[in-house]
């Protein structure tokens, strides 16, 4: 039996485009947000930062990062993180969504 069985590791994962990422932001952010930074390479969008304000008027930042290494840093997975601010200072955060197998979880 010399059948070649294609493994999941050999399949390239679909990369979310700008509209798909913005749709996820619209689902998780209540109200308006502003795009702070949008970075692309030959494969497409790899980083998208948006900011909004919480009910106390403090900034909240959401950061989409595609899995890979870039001059701005690296990520082992495609995900969206949130960073909370107290005035001008970041004071916490966590991962909000992960893109696995072509689906946001």
What is the count of structural domains for the chain? Answer: 1
Determine, yes or no, domain membership for 61: yes
* pTM (two decimals): 0.85
The structure tokens listed for 83 are 């960073």
Would you say residue 2 lies in a domain?
no
Residues 2-51: tens digit of each pLDDT:
444 443 444 466 889 999 999 999 999 999 999 999 999 999 999 999 99
Whether residue 101 has pLDDT greater than 70: yes
Asked if the structure places residue 18 within a domain, the reply is yes
Q: What are phi and psi of 2, to 5 degrees?
A: -110, 40
What pLDDT, on the 0 to 100 scale, is given for residue 14? 84
Residue 71 falls within a domain, yes or no? yes
Residue 105 resides in a domain: no
Its domain, for residue 53, covers 13-100
């Amino acid at each position: 039996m010399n059948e070649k069985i294609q493994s999941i590791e050999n399949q390239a994962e679909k990369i979310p485009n700008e509209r798909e990422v913005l749709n996820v932001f619209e689902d998780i952010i209540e109200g308006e947000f502003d795009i702070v930074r949008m970075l692309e390479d030959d494969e497409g969008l790899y980083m998208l930062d948006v900011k909004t304000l919480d009910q106390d008027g403090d900034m909240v930042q959401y950061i989409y990062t595609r899995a890979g290494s870039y001059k701005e840093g690296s990520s082992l997975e495609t995900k969206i993180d949130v960073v909370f601010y107290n005035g001008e200072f970041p004071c916490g955060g966590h991962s909000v969504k992960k893109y696995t197998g072509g689906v946001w979880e």
